[in-house]
Chains A and B, each alone.
Chain A
Amino acid sequence: MDSGISYEQDGRQGESELGKLVDLHYGPLYRFAMSLTRNESDAGDLVQDTFFTFATKGHQLRDPAKAKPWLFTTLHRRFLERQRRTTRFPHLEISETIPDLPFVEPGLVDRLDGQALVGMLAQVEPRLQAAVALFYLEDYSYNEIAAILDVPLGTVKSRIARGLAQLKELVAHSGPVGHTTPKEPS
């Protein structure tokens, strides 16, 4: 029996499988999208777009276990496509050396909320952000993160290391009380 997720052969089964996928992965995908876009509306659109793509092309995926990385990869690609349309990133060379990490006062992170961290991630070099977000949000191996972002393993490790260093620096300098970004009214 074919264990692949099918949308054409049996519509009802496809819908229910898709519903399960949405149930399982909406949250993680939304968090990833939010950490990339920092905007609830854009994050919601990206996730929706990703699932719509899956609804039309997902039947090509024969192994259901690959659905999750496929969704993350697609979301990241969609994000890059949108970025290319509207923004031109300055090309930033990533130096191989990782700066010394600052000491972060114990408990400082606990005083920050997810929204504040997303705000800080926005201040990290753009090309490092997706790798850092996946590093914290999911338990993916570095090989899996590399596959999702479509970059070599060494590049992923370098991006995460540099991104972490920048993020730690930002957290360390966020003050002893910890700044939280006020939530955008929806």
Chain B
Amino acid sequence: MNRQEAKEILLLFRPGTADAQDPEMAQALTLAQQDPELGQWFQEHQAFQTAMQTRFRQIEVPATGKLALLSALQTESHQERKIVRPPFWRLPVWQWAAAAVVMLGLTLFWPGSRRPDHFADYQQMMVSKALRGYTMDWATSDMTQLRRQLAEAKAPADYRLPPGVAGLQLTGGTRLTWRTHPVALVCFKRKDQRDVWLFVMKRSDVRDPPPVTPRLQRVDRLMTASWSQGDVTYVLAGPPEPGFPKEYF
């Protein structure tokens, strides 16, 4: 192993880790002890590495993030935790019969036992989509093109942007669904690179649409404004900051 080869190996050495146990690394370390020039270079490089390692590990972690996550996970687990039951084929016959009677009764006499269909459910679901990721089907900065794509995908495309939102940078959009109803998601970026989402759905697709005047509400980790206009209902979501989303109207 020559000096250059040793340098290339020692470049990857991290003080205080198991790196020294690597046989090649050990050989390069021995050479650094014997070769003064290499030793000098290694000493400087090691000081650099230690300082870099320390600085990287000092990247500030917001305390609120962990708390918000724990709270969100708890909510999620209460809503969606799977209940493990014996497989259906192991249920006794009388349980089958009882279950069938109960199911029939529920279907016939309890029409209110429907899945959540309130605006708040829709709003929560959309915020969750924004936070937990979605597939951006069309990455574009051209609103006309996006409207065309949404219309082709049978999603609401005839939406009106509030004046402030129209000034944001369009990044694209996608078609989502809520209880089989199509939802258009239009994505924007602000100058500070933070995302703003506009969800558009037909007003008649929800039982209790929001009023014409935007209603501001914090949902999960986002601030939202919800309003209706014509046969369209809107949810605008973005970072929970003072002024957002009032500044867009």
Contacts and interface: CB of A to CB of B under 8 A. Distances in A.
Interface in B61-93: 61-62, 65-66, 68-70, 72-74, 76-77, 80-82, 84
Interface in A156-186: 157, 160-161, 164-165, 167-168, 171, 184-186
B114 interface: no
Given A118-B59, A157-B12, A49 B132 contact: yes
A23 B44 contact: no
A26 B65 contact: yes
Contacts of B239: 41
B193 A39 contact: yes
Contacts of A8: 81-82, 84
A11 B132 contact: no
Given A49-B132, A103-B44, A35 B51 contact: no
A168 B48 contact: yes
5 nearest A-B pairs in the assembled complex, by CB-CB distance? A109-B51, A114-B59, A136-B56, A85-B136, A31-B59
A51 B68 CA distance: 12
Contacts of A101: 11, 45
B215 interface: no
B69 A161 contact: no
Given A30-B61, A101-B45, A184-B192, A117 B56 contact: yes
Contacts of B69: 22, 26, 47-48, 51
A142 B221 CA distance: 36
B12 A34 contact: no
Contacts of A109: 48, 51-52, 55
Contacts of A135: 12, 14
B133 A49 contact: yes
B194 A48 contact: no
Interface residues of B, number: 52
26 contacts: A14-B77, A15-B74, A23-B66, A30-B61, A34-B59, A44-B62, A44-B68, A48-B69, A48-B131, A49-B132, A49-B133, A51-B69, A82-B133, A86-B136, A106-B47, A109-B51, A110-B51, A113-B55, A115-B60, A117-B59, A135-B14, A136-B56, A137-B56, A141-B19, A161-B12, A171-B48
Contacts of A34: 59
A52 B73 contact: yes
A47 B65 contact: yes
Nearest to A78: B133
B139 A85 contact: yes
A139 interface: yes
B77 A45 contact: no
A162 to B, nearest CB: 10
B62 to A, nearest CB: 7
Interface in A81-112: 81-82, 85-86, 98, 101, 103-104, 106, 109-110, 112
B213 interface: no
B12 to A, nearest CB: 6
A103 B45 CA distance: 9
A168 B7 CA distance: 15
Interface string A35-59: 1000111001101110110011000
Nearest to B69: A48
A82 B135 CA distance: 8
B57 interface: yes
A78 B47 CA distance: 34
* Chain A CB within 10 A, most for which of B11, B19, B221, B241: B11
B171 interface: yes
A114 B55 contact: yes
